[in-house]
């Protein structure tokens, strides 16, 4: 009898551990899809909660199931997260909001969208203050996180970013100097434009390359207002050529790249950082 009792206790303990582990990951409690807009309310253990809004320019096959959206609590001190940040010394996940949101549509869902997707995140777990270092970071699955912030606001803490593709999103405290961030984002834009060059019309690519070179020179000259204006012109040029000379569709099958959306997302977050200098 004692042997059976011990086995029962071990099974109950193992079951308790299993449910305790599962409690740290959860599907969003509420997902509402209306046309090109998705509204999500997420509530995780420990009263960690957020409102997430996704806005697409034009989406096809957008449903709760096709979006592939999940949320989970993370260990903000884990090297699995820290090693994915650009600089672990000056950037750290927000301890009061240890949430990671993953949007990873399955390949066979037929979901697609064109242009940029706007990501709005609002949480009462954080407070907005003037000069806050809080930022919205995004990464491919298990890849490096990068700042995609385009605006911030009060109402506890609200942040917006844009993207031409998905996967994972977290909020971090970024203590890097503004100019360091600007140089990193400019470098990311230059690398992306060079990587996409074979898929962009040659004449249009030449014009975009000149725009980015001009932006780089204006930043070096500390003329941040003109650099921001030039970024606006860069985005207009992409918008005028997207779908014709620049691919602008993301598909869950991942057989094409949303080049227009990704380039515009890089430029929008760079413009945000320029305004902070």
pLDDT for 211-233, tens place per residue? Answer: 999 999 999 999 999 999 999 99
Please state the length of the chain: 277
Mean pLDDT across the chain: 90
Cβ(151)–Cβ(159) below 8 Å: yes
Average pLDDT on 161-165 reads: 97
- pLDDT of 72 > 60? The answer is yes
- pLDDT value at position 29? 63
- pLDDT value at position 88? 63
- pLDDT value at position 26? 43
Q: How many CB atoms lie within 10 A of CB 184?
A: 17
- pLDDT of 13 > 50? The answer is no
Nearest to 161 by CA among 122, 133, 119, 114: 119
- pLDDT value at position 155? 81
Please tell me the number of Cα atoms within 13 Å of 223 on its side-chain side.
11
- pLDDT value at position 12? 36
- pLDDT value at position 236? 97
- pLDDT value at position 162? 98
* Percent of the chain whose pLDDT exceeds 90: 86
* Percent of the chain whose pLDDT exceeds 70: 89
- pLDDT value at position 22? 34
CA 129 to chain centre: 22
41-68 pLDDT, tens digit per residue, is: 999 999 999 999 999 999 999 999 999 9
Q: Cα separation of 36 and 95, whole Å?
A: 32
Q: Cα separation of 270 and 136, whole Å?
A: 13
Pick from 83-92, 178-187, 224-233, 258-267: least confident: 83-92
Average pLDDT on 188-217 reads: 98
Please tell me what DSSP assigns to residue 262: H
- pLDDT value at position 74? 97
Q: What DSSP line would sit under 227-241, residue for residue?
A: HHHHHHHHHHHHHHH
113-133 pLDDT, tens digit per residue, is: 999 999 999 999 999 999 999
Average pLDDT on 186-199 reads: 98
86-112 pLDDT, tens digit per residue, is: 976 899 999 999 999 999 998 999 999
């Amino acid at each position: 009898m004692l042997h059976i009792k011990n086995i029962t206790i071990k099974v109950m303990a193992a079951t308790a551990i299993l449910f305790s582990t599962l409690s740290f990951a959860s599907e969003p409690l509420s997902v509402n899809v209306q046309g090109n807009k998705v509204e999500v309310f997420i509530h995780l253990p420990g009263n960690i909660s957020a409102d997430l809004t996704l806005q697409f320019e034009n989406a096809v096959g957008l449903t709760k199931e096709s979006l592939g959206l999940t949320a989970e609590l993370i260990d903000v001190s884990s090297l699995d997260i820290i090693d994915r940040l650009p600089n672990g010394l000056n950037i750290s996940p927000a301890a009061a909001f240890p949430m990671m949101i993953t949007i990873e549509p399955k390949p066979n869902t037929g979901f697609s969208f064109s242009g940029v997707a706007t990501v709005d995140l609002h949480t009462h777990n954080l407070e907005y203050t003037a000069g806050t270092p809080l930022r919205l970071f995004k990464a491919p699955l298990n890849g490096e996180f990068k700042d995609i912030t385009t605006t911030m606001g009060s109402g506890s803490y609200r942040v917006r970013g844009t993207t031409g593709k998905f996967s994972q999103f977290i909020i971090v405290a970024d203590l890097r100097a503004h100019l360091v961030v600007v140089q990193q984002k400019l470098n990311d834009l230059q690398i992306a434009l060079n990587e996409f060059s074979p898929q962009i019309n040659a004449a249009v690519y030449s014009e975009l390359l000149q725009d980015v070179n001009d932006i780089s020179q204006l930043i070096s000259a500390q003329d941040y207002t003109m650099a921001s204006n030039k970024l606006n012109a860069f985005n207009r040029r992409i918008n005028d050529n997207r779908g014709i000379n620049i691919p602008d569709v993301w598909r869950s099958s991942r057989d094409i790249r949303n080049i227009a959306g990704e380039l515009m997302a890089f430029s929008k977050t760079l413009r945000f950082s320029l305004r902070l200098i």
